[in-house]
Amino acid sequence: MIYKGIIERYGKYLPVTGKTPVITLYEGNTPLLRAKNIEKFLGGNSEIYLKFEGANPTGSFKDRGMTMAISKAVEDGSKAVICASTGNTAASAAAYSARAGLKCSVIIPDGSIALGKLSQAMMHGAKVIALRGNFDDALKIVLEITEKYPLTLVNSLNPYRIEGQKTAAFEIIDFLGRAPDYHFIPVGNAGNITAYWKGYKEYVRSPKSEVRSQKNKDIGHWTLDIGLPKMMGFQASGSAPIVRGKPVKNPKTLATAIKIGNPASWKKAEQARDESKGIIDTVTDGEIIKAYKLLASLEGIFVEPASAASVAGLIKYNSKLKIKNEKLVIVCTLTGHGLKDPDRAIKSATQPKVIDQNMKKILKAIGL
């Protein structure tokens, strides 16, 4: 068994050289799970796959970008990094910084970060600053600091983050032998939808792509025999600046990872939407929680609420896309693990019964 992180696996598509020190926790290579029960629930002929990014080392897709950002920071001689975060970037930056021996500071919106993420950042030894304000305020401050001080910014404005994150699209193509027809994805700061679209375009068109070289071995040049997916992005309805067409001052959603009112990659997300002929739309918190519970109860996959926005979007578009009638291949990205936000899980489920050590009562409670 040889473990490889995304840099070792896909280095030829990434801005690294043999001299780049690889700081890895063996991120990537996450499961692409066929969701047969959700297929049945939606009632159609389409194949639905779930890219479970909660299986990354710190529990979210942020690790793909962070292995790149931290490796390049070390290569460039940086001694310290900083980010604003709704939580998962902080957890990932803290872990990879610990491994690299870098100092790490994170600025988080006070009160709007899930417990699991906060505990990770603290345990990995980052300086955690809880800001009175929201994510957008935190990002503004971090940008001001990195302009004046020698700290490396590891938010998704750091182009190496996008480069690392695009490898999720590579993995999907390697697994399916093609790109999906539709790709559903949550949208917060909009770095990930940008990264997937970049990844799909580059991999489908690359002469180095394993899929292309298998399919077109004797053609010798790129042909468009692998189509590109339509990118289907979903923001929470109380936090949907791209859909509304203007920044949201006080974004509101229980999906804290996408509670962002002024996304850094706004323009690039619109570009991904338009080039792919996809859409960016909203889902309500109610729809998010419904999908969150469905994933756990029907497929055995526990995600954090923001991650379920992709599946909530799929449910919303089920009849519009004619998923029922057509044989489509659909991928939904599930961005982070459910254990990140234990409070929400406990609030969303039936509380356990407290029972005396009485066999009769226990059997009754089990339903026997």
By CB under 6 A, which span of 66-74, 167-175, 189-197, 312-320 interacts with ligand PLP? 189-197
- Nearest residue to ligand PLP, by Cβ distance, number only: 336
Q: Give Cα separations from 138 to 30, 163, 275, 342, 351 (angstroms).
A: 30, 23, 31, 24, 35
Q: Is 87 left (phi over 0), alpha (psi -120 to 50) or beta?
A: left
Give me the least distance between CB of 263 and ligand PLP, in Å please: 7
Which residue among 69, 83, 142, 258 contacts ligand PLP (CB under 6 A)? 258
Question: Any idea what DSSP says for residue 185?
Answer: E
Which listed residue (304, 310, 315, 317) binds ligand PLP by CB under 6 A? 304
Q: Which is nearer to ligand PLP, 89 or 209 (CB)?
A: 89
CA-to-CA distance for 314 and 316, rounded, in angstroms?
A: 5
Nearer to ligand PLP by Cβ, of 312 and 323: the residue is 312
Query: Binding to ligand PLP by residue 186, rule CB under 6 A?
Result: yes
> What is the b/e burial string over 45-67, where b = at least 16 CB atoms within 10 angstroms of the residue's CB?
ebbbbbbbbbbbbbbbbbbbbbb
Residue 16 near ligand PLP by CB under 6 A? no
- The 3-state DSSP class for residue 339 equals helix
Nearer to ligand PLP, 158 or 192 (CB): 192
Using CB under 6 A, which of the segments 108-116, 141-149, 299-307, 358-366 binds ligand PLP? 299-307
DSSP collapsed to 3 states, 188-233:
CCCHHHHHHHHHHHHHHHCCCCHHHHHHCCCCCCCCCCCCCCEEEE
Select 62 or 166, whichever has its Cβ closest to ligand PLP: 62
For residue 189, state whether it binds ligand PLP (rule: CB under 6 A).
yes
SS3 365: helix
Q: Which is nearer to ligand PLP, 71 or 307 (CB)?
A: 307
Q: What are the helix (H) ranges across the chain?
A: 6-10, 36-42, 62-75, 88-100, 115-123, 135-148, 159-165, 167-176, 191-205, 210-215, 241-244, 266-276, 285-299, 309-317, 342-348, 359-366
Nearest to 248 by CA among 140, 136, 156: 136
Instruction: State which amino acid sits at residue 245.
Output: G
Radius of gyration of the chain (CA): 21
Question: Max Cα separation, the chain?
Answer: 74
Q: Which of 24, 46, 58, 60 binds ligand PLP (CB under 6 A)?
A: 60
Rule CB under 6 A: say whether 313 interacts with ligand PLP: no
Q: How far is the CB of 155 from ligand PLP (least distance, A)?
A: 9
Total residues interacting with ligand PLP, rule: CB under 6 A: 18
Residue 151 Cβ vs ligand PLP, minimum distance, rounded to whole Å: 21
User: Of the candidates 25, 211, 257, 332, which one interacts with ligand PLP according to CB under 6 A?
Assistant: 257
Which is closer to ligand PLP, CB of 156 or CB of 209? 156
Interaction between residue 188 and ligand PLP (CB under 6 A): yes
Q: Is residue 109 near ligand PLP by the rule CB under 6 A?
A: no
Binding to ligand PLP by residue 307, rule CB under 6 A? yes
- Looking at 173, 190, 272, 291, which residue binds ligand PLP (CB under 6 A)? 190
Contacting ligand PLP within 72-91 (CB under 6 A): 88
CB closer to ligand PLP, 46 vs 333? 333
Residue 256 as a binder of ligand PLP (CB under 6 A): the answer is: no
Element (H, E) at 283: strand 279-283
- Tell me the three state secondary structure of residue 149: coil
- Residue 336 in contact with ligand PLP, rule: CB under 6 A: yes
Torsion angle of C-alpha atoms 156, 200, 279, 67, degrees rounded to 10: -20
Which residues contact ligand PLP by CB under 6 A? Answer: 60, 62, 88, 156, 186-192, 257-258, 304, 306-307, 335-336
